[in-house]
Amino acid sequence: MPAIDLKIEQLVLDNENPRITHAASQHEAMQKVVKDQKTKLVRLAESIVERGLSPIERLMVLQVSEKPKRYIALEGNRRVTVLKLLTNPAVMTGLEIQESVQRALERLASIFEKNKVEPISGFEVGSRDEARYWIELRHNGEDQGRGVVGWKPIVAARFRKREPAVQALDLVLEHGGFTPVEAEEISSRFSLTTLRRLIESEDVRPLLGLTVRDGRLHTTLPGSEVIKPLKRIVRDIADKEVNSRSFNKTEQMVKYVQGFERPDIPDFTKKSASRPIEAIQKSEFKITTTRRKNRRPDSSDRRQVVPKNCSLNVTENRIAEIYKELRTIKLADAPNAIAVLLRVFLEMSVDHFLENNGGAVDFKTPNGQSKFKKLDKKLAEVVSMLVSAGVPKAHFASVTRSVSVVTSPMNIDLFHRYVHDRFATPSTTDLKAAWDHAQPLFEKIWP
């Protein structure tokens, strides 16, 4: 796949762009992109006019004409649409477009300098199939690290500005004596908002031995002392002992810090000259291990898809074996296997209920053939039978909706993708949500 330099007039929109339904012409393709994106096109146009095209994102194109040279933008249709509108705003007169959007784009077109974006960096492929892998990788999320891995809030805060709260957290993570695994666990569930409230409080900072100058945290204490209360705070926030709702008032924050036990209170007699905490030498920190308090159970942190407090009385051997595996296999170890098992467990449970309560898992076609019912049909029948028995219909709203929602692991089409599509990977969050939605139904099927 060779790199290629492109001009705006050489680019055409992709009539098969997955953002839109099939378009019969370039005009229709542009209309559908405009309708889909609305004011997002204005934001993109503002960025292009002000800063040009991103140097870290190239267009992916497929040549469709030699004379004149024309290339379909397989990846980058939003950018191509904006560039077309900026270079020829008269095109908008033939489009259905919000008046405010049109005015904004016309204003930007009047100051757009074409020579600041051309030549446009692209990558030419020989076929759509050749581009498919890269396009899906770009738009299919992290995909276990193969795609674009998004920043956690803490990382984003570091990039934008190393504010005092981030400085305090980094000090604790670097010098608090945590193992790499412990530090990662803390970062993954940390509320920077809660720490920010404490660090930004002028009443709390003196209790911690801290001041702020020009956006930087300063202290007169040695590293071994200033880290004591900060480590306690970081632990409490990570373990959800406190959160932002705990500190709606200044007196709540002050009372919290004043309630620290002796090991978490700095020795203010060990004062020296004030300096930024980032300038504290590593030798000042005593590497100690503190006994971690038992963390209150949090159902959202469960390692298996089935919560520990869920106990179903599964009476059929094969289905019971599947249920046992769902209770024991760790989500992080086998999300793909769990997705398949979860779907199988749902369908087998539904079939069991129908067959034992006067229902049927198949039906006769007009020509007399026997066919199995689809899962959503069987599920609806089970819900109807349970509602008739006195269970409120709202009890099953979540699982019924999950079967039709395209992002749910219970969705029929998505489940087939998990089996047949080598790029579709279920997330642990989605799997836990799928079980939670279905659990009320399972509890009625297997009381």
Residue 330's identity, in one-letter code, is: K
Cα–Cα distance measured from residue 200 to residue 324, given in angstroms and rounded to the nearest whole number: 49
DSSP result, 217-263: EEESS-HHHHHHHHHHHHHHHHTTSS-GGGGSSHHHHHHHHHT--GG
Mean pLDDT computed over every residue of the chain: 85
217-226 mean pLDDT: 92
Q: At a CB cut-off of 8 Å and minimum separation 6, what does 106 contact?
A: 89, 92
CB-CB contact of 77 with 17 (8 Å) = yes
Question: How far, in Å, CA of 343 to CA of 410, rounded?
Answer: 6
Greatest pairwise CA separation for the chain in angstroms: 93
| 232 close to 173: Cβ distance less than 8 angstroms | no
Q: Decide if pLDDT at 260 tops 70.
A: yes
Q: Which of 158-167, 351-360, 371-380, 394-403 has the lowest mean pLDDT?
A: 394-403
Note the pLDDT of residue 152: 66
Residue 309: C-alpha distances to residues 156, 193, 258 (Å): 36, 31, 37
Q: Are 84 and 68 in contact (CB under 8 A)?
A: no
Distance of CA 417 to the CA centre of its chain: 20
Which candidate, 219, 217, 209, places its Cα nearest to that of 273? 219
Q: Distances in Å between the alpha carbon of 52 and those of 82, 86, 110?
A: 12, 12, 15
Q: Say if residue 295's pLDDT is above 70.
A: no
Chain CA centroid to CA 236, Å: 25
Give the pLDDT score at 289.
46
Nearest to 235 by CA among 300, 162, 178, 167: 178
Count Cβ atoms below 10 Å from residue 178 Cβ, excluding itself.
Answer: 18
155 vs 393, higher pLDDT: 393
Q: Is the dihedral of CA 187, 193, 196, 202 positive or negative?
A: negative
Confidence of residue 386 (pLDDT cuts 50, 70, 90): confident
Lowest mean pLDDT among 33-42, 121-130, 288-297, 338-347: 288-297
CA 416 to chain CA mean position, Å: 22
What is the CA 72 to chain-centroid distance, rounded?
A: 30
CB atoms within 10 A of CB 177: 15
- At residue 372, the pLDDT reads 86
For residue 307, say if its preceding peptide bond is cis, omega within 30 degrees of 0: no
The C-alpha atoms of residue 408 and residue 404 are separated, in whole angstroms, by 8
> Residue 291 has which token pair?
């006994």
Task: Tell me which of 27-31, 98-102, 235-239, 395-399 is least confident.
Answer: 395-399
Given pLDDT bands bounded at 50, 70 and 90, which one contains residue 225?
A: very high
Is the pLDDT assigned to residue 287 strictly greater than 60?
no
| pTM: predicted TM-score of the whole model, two decimal places | 0.48
For 71, the enclosing helix (H) or strand (E) is strand 70-75
Asked whether 228 and 263 are in contact (CB, 8 A), the reply is yes
